[in-house]
Amino acid sequence: MSIDIRRWSDTMARITAQMTATLLIVTCAISFLEIPYPALGDNLALNPSLIATSPWLAFTSLFVHVNIGHLIQYMVALLIFGAFLEEVIGPKKLVLVYFTSGLAGNIASLFFYPNSLSLGASGAIMGLVGCLTALRPKATIWFGADLPVIFFAGIWMVTDLIGLFVPSDIGNAAHLAGFATGVLFGRMWMKKFKVDREIKRRVRRALK
């Protein structure tokens, strides 16, 4: 499959988003520590039987993953959607959406999967997707073709809704809760981050 560099350049340019890059680097560093220290994943994962005495597990679980494939999948999504969203709302609000959505996803996991360990940044990342969907639903992301953000969101939401009724080891409830939290943030900030205001802000920045 050939890659159109001009179409991909806008997405790659967003790599400079500092907070997204920081989250990606920290998450990868902690996840790679699971290779020499396999017990680290279990110690940092969300464990329903320990959450009452170790509430920090609701956050540390966002930094560990099942395997390298699991990590790569979510870090690519973080890079694409997180950097795009950071460009719109800024780093501080990105952190707020990320960790609040991750917490919402883990709370959902406690109710839907009370006998299972939960780990991974899926709820947090789906929160970023939800927020971006609310603020920029028609914005396109190049993935072999120019596709709107709402297309990706729709595919994932349908998949997760179906997954709620199909037993698997995927935390569909966490995805849905994270996405819903992100949408709520996006709706709350919709007036502040209108497209026309963003254009004006970029013009002022370019004229400085």
* 123: containing domain: 5-207
> Mean pLDDT of residues grouped by 10 in the chain (208 residues)?
42 64 94 90 91 94 89 91 93 96 95 90 95 93 81 93 87 95 95 67 52
pLDDT value for 8: 42
pLDDT value for 192: 86
How far is Cα 186 from Cα 189, in angstroms, rounded to an integer? 5
Domain count, the chain: 1
Q: What angle do CA 151, 138, 200 make, to 5 degrees?
A: 155
Q: Which amino acid is at 120?
A: G
pLDDT value for 16: 52
How far is Cα 191 from Cα 186, in angstroms, rounded to an integer? 9
Strand-pairing partners, residue 148, are: 140
Structure tokens at 41: 């994943």
**CATH number for position 116:** 1.20.1540.10
pLDDT value for 147: 86
pTM listed for this prediction:
0.84
Structure tokens at 29: 């560093």
The residues annotated with a catalytic role in the active site are: 122, 175
